[in-house]
């Protein structure tokens, strides 16, 4: 397992918190918390996906836009880390 990138995790947590705030929600956003359980709707997931793409400056491949990848901060972080590695390797 790769070393954990706290910057990456914190940036994703800030994106999730920003979406919750837009909905006037507050939640404890932990890496393992299920995003739907803390209040994100399917529309919020789309906004989160766009936010991740803007924040990390890459396009999420269609094949990676899965419920599994958008389950929690942790699963999202794993997918982003892999995409960033692929982008720098290309």
Query: What does the pLDDT read at residue 4?
Result: 57
Query: What does the pLDDT read at residue 2?
Result: 46
Give the range of the structural domain holding residue 55, as residue numbers without chain letter. 6-83
Rounded to two decimals, the pTM is 0.90
pLDDT tens string for the chain (90 positions)? Answer: 345 578 999 999 999 999 999 999 999 999 999 999 999 999 999 999 999 999 999 999 999 999 999 999 999 999 999 999 998 887
Residue 34 lies in a domain: yes
Report the distance separating Cα 55 and Cα 1, nearest Å: 24
Residue 90 lies in a domain: no
Count of the separate structural domains present in the chain = 1
**Among candidate residues 37, 41, 34, the one with its CA nearest the CA of residue 19:** 41
Report the distance separating Cα 7 and Cα 43, nearest Å: 26
CATH number at residue 39: 1.10.1200.10
Residue 30 lies in a domain: yes
């Amino acid at each position: 397992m790769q070393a954990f990138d706290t910057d990456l995790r914190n940036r994703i947590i800030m994106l999730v918190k920003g979406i919750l705030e837009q909905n006037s929600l507050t939640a404890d956003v932990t890496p393992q918390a299920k995003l739907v359980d803390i209040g994100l709707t399917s529309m919020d997931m789309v906004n989160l996906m766009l936010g991740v793409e803007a924040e990390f400056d890459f396009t999420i491949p269609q094949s990676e836009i899965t419920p599994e990848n958008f389950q929690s901060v942790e699963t999202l972080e794993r997918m982003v880390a892999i995409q960033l590695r692929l982008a720098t390797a290309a």
